[in-house]
Amino acid sequence: MSAQRQVSIPVVSSSSSKIAHIQADLYGTGSCAVLLAHGGRFNKDSWQKQAPILTRAGFLVLAINYRGDTFNADGSPSALGSDDDNATDVQAAAAYLHRIGAKSVAAIGASLGGDAVGDAEARSPVGIFDKMIFLGSEGGDAPEKLRGRKLFIVARDDSNGSGPRLPGISKHFEQAPQPKQLILLNGSAHAQFLFDTEEGPQLLREILKFLASN
């Protein structure tokens, strides 16, 4: 397994056509890649436990930051970029993986990262991802445009200030075309927080099983 290395990926702004850069961590080698898009209270470092597991399974792994990532006053990470910018960043990251030799690209998007993955996929006339995992996420604004294989995973009692997340996720799951799968885990942990619960091992097994499927 190749060691983690940091890369800088150019991104062309959809509003100004100016070139910016996002920072990312690249793990492993191979022609089958997995792009990791973090949730709103995390950054690329949040995947440091899961990325090596994915590389041991044979995947080239890229964990990205978004242009709008920043830190709160207490030092905790926060993703403040627009939905449009986040989706553009995901598109740029997927293009980078193809440039360095990936023949197929899957994506795991957690919470707003899942929205970014879904919106990036929906924008493309031919599709970007062979497989998409939406972790505690509705998968963007246009689920009917999601190609490829799709796995939605959410904790049964996951909720926010507006109420349970499951109804919205279930609605988008129903609107998404086949092939697709919805898995409900026990508990109330949201998205990446599930990794640190009793459901964490099961979550990883489901992710690896899905990524290995044909």
What does the pLDDT profile of the chain (214 residues) look like in tens digits?
456 899 999 999 877 788 999 999 999 999 999 999 999 999 999 999 999 999 999 999 999 999 999 999 999 999 999 999 999 999 999 999 999 999 999 999 999 999 999 999 999 988 999 999 999 999 999 999 999 999 999 999 999 999 999 999 999 999 999 999 999 999 999 999 999 999 999 999 999 999 999 8
Count the neighbouring beta carbons within 10 Å of the beta carbon of residue 110. Answer: 30
CATH 3.20.20.140 fits 5-212, yes or no: no
Helix axes 83-99, 112-123, angle to 10 degrees: 70
Task: Show the DSSP H helices in the chain as ranges.
Answer: 50-56, 83-99, 112-123, 166-175, 200-212
Q: Which of 128, 126, 125, 53 is nearest to 89 (CA)?
A: 128
State residue 2's pLDDT score. 57
pTM, full prediction = 0.97
* Residue whose tokens read 């599709």: 127
For the chain, give every domain's residue range: 5-212
